[in-house]
């Protein structure tokens, strides 16, 4: 009998077949396609000429327009206080009543003495006239006439003296009624009924301050003052002819004061200890909002720029060196970087003096997605409520609305 043995294929043949199958399979596959870059959407603001009023905020304090310290002009006893502390006082209003009895008595005595002197005058004058006629005929001596003439002059002098005493007594009697010399608001009283006061005492009885209008005194260094004057002289006047001397006011809580003031004068000397001068401004104060000693900020208009370039603060960024720049979208829809020169910060915008031109589209939203990408990256511009709000509040060219700015 013959036996047949099965022959197993060698292992190398199996590997060769598998390799061929894998090779055939790989020839039918395509190389992987890289994914498309995501679309980057940004929002822009188109640069257009705007009217910007440049101004400076100067810190200062208010002071009363007039101050009158009430002091008695005679010695006496306060009988009655005739005002309410803190109320409005009109000029001539009686504030205190000093006991008038002794001054009335002095006036009566002076009047009586004047009447006595005036009663003696007619007889003495008639005697002088008779002696003058008799002296011509040598009926009386020259000495007798001289005595009569001297008596007449003596009584005339007495009359003049007592007339002066009557006037002094009348004035002192009037001083018993202490009146207000000015209109204003009166403070607290330093005396009460029954107090003894002296003429021109160092402590005032009360103080009246006129608060409408009111002063605002602003200390300004000489260097800042020179810069301010140069900018006001070199700046262009506003096209609507408005008064450049008008001054605004910001209160302590940051609110805008309702009334405008005027720049009145500049001090003529420099304080050597501080190197500053005082600028005094006058503001109406009909409601009494401003009180003496309040800290305020005066907004002084320097000049108006009718062709200013301003961009929202969101559109300005800074590099590691702190230099400002902005990202723009060019006509091809690609990103462009511009270095900027900033002059002043407004409420929510930057005043740009170099780096931008009218018509440029500045990116104000979506910059974060572009920080790691090179310039020239294509973007898609979309409108946002932010851009619509910027466009809506932009002033019309023929009736510009100034944008207040601060230093």
Confidence band of 397 (pLDDT split at 50, 70, 90): very low
Tokens coding 126: 């008639």
Confidence band of 136 (pLDDT split at 50, 70, 90): confident
Pairing relationship of beta strands 41-46 and 50-70 according to DSSP bridges = unpaired
Whether 130 shows a pLDDT value over 80: the answer reads: yes
Q: How far apart are CA 282 and CA 221, in angstroms?
A: 20
* Of 22-26, 33-37, 228-232, highest mean pLDDT: 228-232
Cβ-Cβ contacts under 8 Å for 178 (sequence gap 6 or more):
70, 72, 94, 95, 96, 97, 98, 205
The answer to which of 37-51, 82-96, 350-364 has the lowest mean pLDDT is 37-51
Q: How far apart are CA 280 and CA 376, in angstroms?
A: 55
Q: Among 3.40.50.2030, 2.40.37.10, 2.40.50.100, 2.30.110.10, what is the CATH number of 74-97+178-203?
A: 2.40.50.100
Confidence band of 240 (pLDDT split at 50, 70, 90): very low
Whether 20 shows a pLDDT value over 60: the answer reads: no
Mean pLDDT across 389-393: 57
Q: What is residue 74's predicted lDDT score, i.e. its pLDDT?
A: 95
Confidence band of 4 (pLDDT split at 50, 70, 90): very low
Mean pLDDT across 171-200: 94
Confidence band of 322 (pLDDT split at 50, 70, 90): confident
Question: Could you read off the pLDDT of 326-370 as tens digits, one per residue?
Answer: 888 888 888 888 888 887 777 678 888 888 888 888 888 877 777
Global pTM value: 0.60
- Mean pLDDT across the chain: 80
CATH fold for domain 101-175? Helix Hairpins (1.10.287)
Instruction: For the chain, give every domain's residue range.
Output: 45-62+211-393, 74-97+178-203, 101-175
> Cα 352 from chain centroid?
27
Same fold for the domain at 74-97+178-203 and the one at 101-175?
A: no
Buried b (16+ CB within 10 A) or exposed e, 306-337: eebbbbbebbbbeeeeeebebbbbeeeeebbe
Question: Could you read off the pLDDT of 241-253 as tens digits, one per residue?
Answer: 444 567 899 998 8
Q: What is residue 105's predicted lDDT score, i.e. its pLDDT?
A: 96
Q: So what CATH class is 45-62+211-393?
A: mainly beta
Q: How far apart are CA 169 and CA 163, in angstroms?
A: 10
Confidence band of 197 (pLDDT split at 50, 70, 90): very high
Mean pLDDT across 63-79: 95
The answer to which of 30-34, 222-226, 301-305 has the lowest mean pLDDT is 30-34
Question: Could you read off the pLDDT of 270-287 as tens digits, one per residue?
Answer: 877 777 888 889 999 998
């Amino acid at each position: 009998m013959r036996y047949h043995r099965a022959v197993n294929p060698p292992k190398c043949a199996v590997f060769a077949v598998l390799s061929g199958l894998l090779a055939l399979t790989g020839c039918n596959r395509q190389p992987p396609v890289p994914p498309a870059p995501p679309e980057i959407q940004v929002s822009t603001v188109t640069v257009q000429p705007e009217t910007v009023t440049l101004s400076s905020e100067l810190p200062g304090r208010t002071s009363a327009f007039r101050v009158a310290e009430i002091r008695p002009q005679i010695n006496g006893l306060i009988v009655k206080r005739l005002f309410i502390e803190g109320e409005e006082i009109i000029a001539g209003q009686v504030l205190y009543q000093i006991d008038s009895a002794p001054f009335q008595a002095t006036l009566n005595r002076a009047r009586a003495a004047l009447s006595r002197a005036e009663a003696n005058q007619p007889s003495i004058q008639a005697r002088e006239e008779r002696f003058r006629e008799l002296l011509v005929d040598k009926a009386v001596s020259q000495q007798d006439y001289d005595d009569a003439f001297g008596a007449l002059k003596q009584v005339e002098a007495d009359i003049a003296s007592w007339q002066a005493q009557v006037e002094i007594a009348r004035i002192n009697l009037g001083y018993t009624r202490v009146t207000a010399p000015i209109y204003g608001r009166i403070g607290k009283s330093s005396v009460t009924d029954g107090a003894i006061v002296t003429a021109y005492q160092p402590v005032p009885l009360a103080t009246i301050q006129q608060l409408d209008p009111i002063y605002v005194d602003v200390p300004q260094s000489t260097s800042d003052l020179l810069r301010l004057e140069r900018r006001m002289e070199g700046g262009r006047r506003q096209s609507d002819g408005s008064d450049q001397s008008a001054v605004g006011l910001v209160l302590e809580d940051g609110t805008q004061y309702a009334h405008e003031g005027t720049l009145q004068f500049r001090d003529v000397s420099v304080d050597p200890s501080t190197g500053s001068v005082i600028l005094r401004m006058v503001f109406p104060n009909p409601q009494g909002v401003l009180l003496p000693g309040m800290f305020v900020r005066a907004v002084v208009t320097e000049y108006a720029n009718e062709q200013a370039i301003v961009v929202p603060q969101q559109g300005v960024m800074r590099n590691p060196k702190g230099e400002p720049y902005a990202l723009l979208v060019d006509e091809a829809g690609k990103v462009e970087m511009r270095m900027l020169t900033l002059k002043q910060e407004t409420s929510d915008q930057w005043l740009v003096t170099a780096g931008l031109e009218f018509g440029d589209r500045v990116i104000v939203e979506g910059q974060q997605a572009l920080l790691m990408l090179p310039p020239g990256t294509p973007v898609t511009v979309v409108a946002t409520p932010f851009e619509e709000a910027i466009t809506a509040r932009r002033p019309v060219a023929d009736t510009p609305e100034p944008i207040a700015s601060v230093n």
